[in-house]
Amino acid sequence: MRNNTLASLTWLRLIRFANQSNQLSNEFLNRFGLTSAQFDVLVQIQTYQPLTQMELAKRVTVTQGGISRMLSRLEKEGYVTRTQEWKQKTISLSSKGTQVLEKAMPEQLAFQTSLFEDTLTKEELKSLYAMLTRLHKSSETKELPPK
């Protein structure tokens, strides 16, 4: 690890925190019968519905193939509906999906908030949010180096 820069160590720490947070969220959301990825998908559908599968895949951290399988499971569970209009299929939240989010959302937000607020001061949290926002925006326009 002595060849790593502060930036690369920070990146590794971010990945480890994100993985740990996802594992904790998966355990927490299990009480609602959801994984953190399913919760994210349902929230995105609720926010932007109706939307296509391709639009949804761009908004979440699931591959196109993964989103297809997940949507099939969520549809089978009755959380989402897919409607076909001519050539375009759109996805919407069902009443059951709305109900599960109404129960899970406040508890999941409180749980995730506690991970930050139990550790960071309000000023540290504001700074972290600002820095991560800058990094995220920069990464959206970053080009890969040539092979």
Q: Residue-wise pLDDT tens for the chain (147 aa)?
A: 567 799 999 999 999 999 999 999 999 999 999 999 999 999 999 999 999 888 898 888 777 788 889 999 999 999 999 988 788 889 999 999 999 999 999 999 999 999 999 999 999 999 999 999 999 899 888 888 888
Shortest CA distance to 77 belongs to which of 89, 61, 94, 65? 94
Using CB atoms within 10 Å of the CB of residue 79, give its burial: 0 to 12 exposed, 13 to 18 middle, 19+ buried. buried
User: What's the pLDDT at 105?
Assistant: 96
What are the residue boundaries of the structural domains of the chain, listed by start?
19-140
Torsion sign across C-alpha atoms 138, 139, 141, 147 = positive
Q: Which CATH class is domain 19-140?
A: mainly alpha
User: What's the pLDDT at 127?
Assistant: 96
User: What's the pLDDT at 2?
Assistant: 65
DSSP secondary structure code for residue 51 in this structure = B
Distance (Å, whole) CA 79 – CA 76: 8
Task: Say whether 90 sits in a helix, a strand or coil.
Answer: strand
